[in-house]
């Protein structure tokens, strides 16, 4: 039985649209929310509403590069975000997500000391996981294989193709994000333990990828050969 989990970063107002899509296809999600980061962010009431159906995780207060901070500043950002959400929701916040996927040993130690159960990274191409504080992901909802920006036209392919090839994804499946994602899911279903899709709602809007996302939700959702979990539930 394949474990399917998703996660969504930053706490943008468009997370509400994501939540509606996840519900439609029977898929669970963990929403990692920063207090002061996105210009149009979820209100306290919207976070409360989101938490009724989904897991909420901490994502610092202001979304900094935690590696650059003093120990006291790290603690304020990490512990402060946990405290803020727990006071708002009246429930334990179990999961943390490193802003921009950036961390070092001191950051991981600070997250452990704050009392979290685990922490998610932005590592791609994983269908198994062992360290709960270095939780990897499988794929990201992001333009693939190319971006329209000529200066970064090949960036998605260059960044993601090596991990996809390691998984066994064929070149013939890499001509669109949906076909690549479908191929990765099929490989995870056959060989893996976990399929973890992540992204940013504001980025889905920026790149016009809502239709592709819904197509993959249709493919992976409401399946009898999968179990749908939050990030914390997916930890072995």
Q: Is residue 90 part of a domain?
A: yes
Q: What is the CATH number of the domain that holds 7?
A: 3.20.20.370
Q: Is residue 221 part of a domain?
A: yes
What is the per-residue pLDDT for 58?
98
Q: 3-state DSSP call for residue 39?
A: coil
Task: Name the domain count of the chain.
Answer: 1
> Which residues are bridge partners to 132 per DSSP?
none
Q: Which of 79-88, 140-149, 179-188 has the lowest mean pLDDT?
A: 140-149
Q: Is residue 160 part of a domain?
A: no
Q: Is residue 179 part of a domain?
A: no
- pLDDT at residue 150 greater than cutoff 90: no
Print the domain residue range for 19: 2-143+194-234
Mean pLDDT calculated for residue range 103-120: 98
Mean pLDDT of the chain: 97
Region of residue 69 (phi > 0: left; psi between -120 and 50: alpha; otherwise: beta): beta
- pLDDT at residue 164 greater than cutoff 90: yes
Close Cβ partners of 98 (under 8 Å, ≥ 6 residues apart)? 66, 107, 111, 119, 120, 121, 122
**Residue 83: φ, ψ to 5°:** -65, -45
Q: If pLDDT is split at 50, 70 and 90, which confidence band does 148 have?
A: confident
Q: Is residue 89 part of a domain?
A: yes
- List, for residues 65-74, the tens digit of each pLDDT value: 999 999 999 9
- pLDDT at residue 143 greater than cutoff 90: yes
CA–CA separation, 54 vs 56, rounded Å? 6
Q: Is residue 172 part of a domain?
A: no
Q: If pLDDT is split at 50, 70 and 90, which confidence band does 76 have?
A: very high
What is the per-residue pLDDT for 149?
80
CA–CA separation, 223 vs 190, rounded Å? 14
- List, for residues 176-210, the tens digit of each pLDDT value: 999 999 999 999 999 999 999 999 999 999 999 99
What is the per-residue pLDDT for 236?
79
Q: Is residue 31 part of a domain?
A: yes
Instruction: Please report the DSSP string for 40-94 in residue order.
Output: SB--HHHHHHHHTTSEEEE--SS---GGGS-HHHHHHHHHHHHHHHHHHHTS---
Mean pLDDT calculated for residue range 144-151: 86
What is the per-residue pLDDT for 152?
86
What is the per-residue pLDDT for 39?
96
Q: If pLDDT is split at 50, 70 and 90, which confidence band does 170 have?
A: very high
Mean pLDDT calculated for residue range 163-172: 95
What is the per-residue pLDDT for 49?
98
Match 């962010």 to its residue by tokens: 41
Q: Is the pTM of this model over 0.85?
A: yes
- pLDDT at residue 96 greater than cutoff 90: yes
């Amino acid at each position: 039985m394949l474990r399917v989990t998703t996660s969504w970063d930053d706490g943008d107002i468009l997370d509400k649209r994501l939540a509606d899509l996840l519900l439609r296809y029977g898929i669970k999600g963990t929403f990692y929310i920063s207090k002061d980061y996105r210009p149009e962010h979820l209100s306290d009431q919207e976070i409360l509403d989101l938490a009724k159906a989904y897991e909420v995780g901490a994502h610092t207060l202001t979304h900094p590069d935690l590696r650059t901070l003093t120990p006291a500043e790290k603690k304020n950002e990490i512990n402060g975000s946990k405290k803020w959400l727990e006071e708002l929701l009246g429930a334990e916040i179990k999961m943390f997500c490193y802003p921009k996927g950036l961390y070092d040993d001191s950051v991981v130690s600070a997250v452990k000391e704050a009392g979290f159960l685990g922490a998610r990274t932005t590592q791609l191409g994983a269908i198994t996981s062992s360290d709960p504080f270095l939780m990897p992901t499988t794929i990201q909802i992001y333009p693939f294989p190319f971006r329209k920006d000529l200066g970064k036209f090949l960036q998605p392919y260059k960044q993601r193709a090596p991990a996809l090839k390691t998984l066994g994804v064929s070149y013939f499946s890499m001509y669109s994000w949906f076909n690549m994602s479908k191929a990765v899911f099929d490989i995870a279903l056959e060989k893996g333990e976990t399929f973890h899709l992540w992204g940013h709602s504001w980025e889905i809007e920026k790149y016009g990828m809502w239709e592709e996302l819904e197509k993959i939700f249709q493919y992976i959702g409401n399946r009898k050969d999968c179990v749908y979990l939050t990030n914390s539930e997916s930890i072995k």
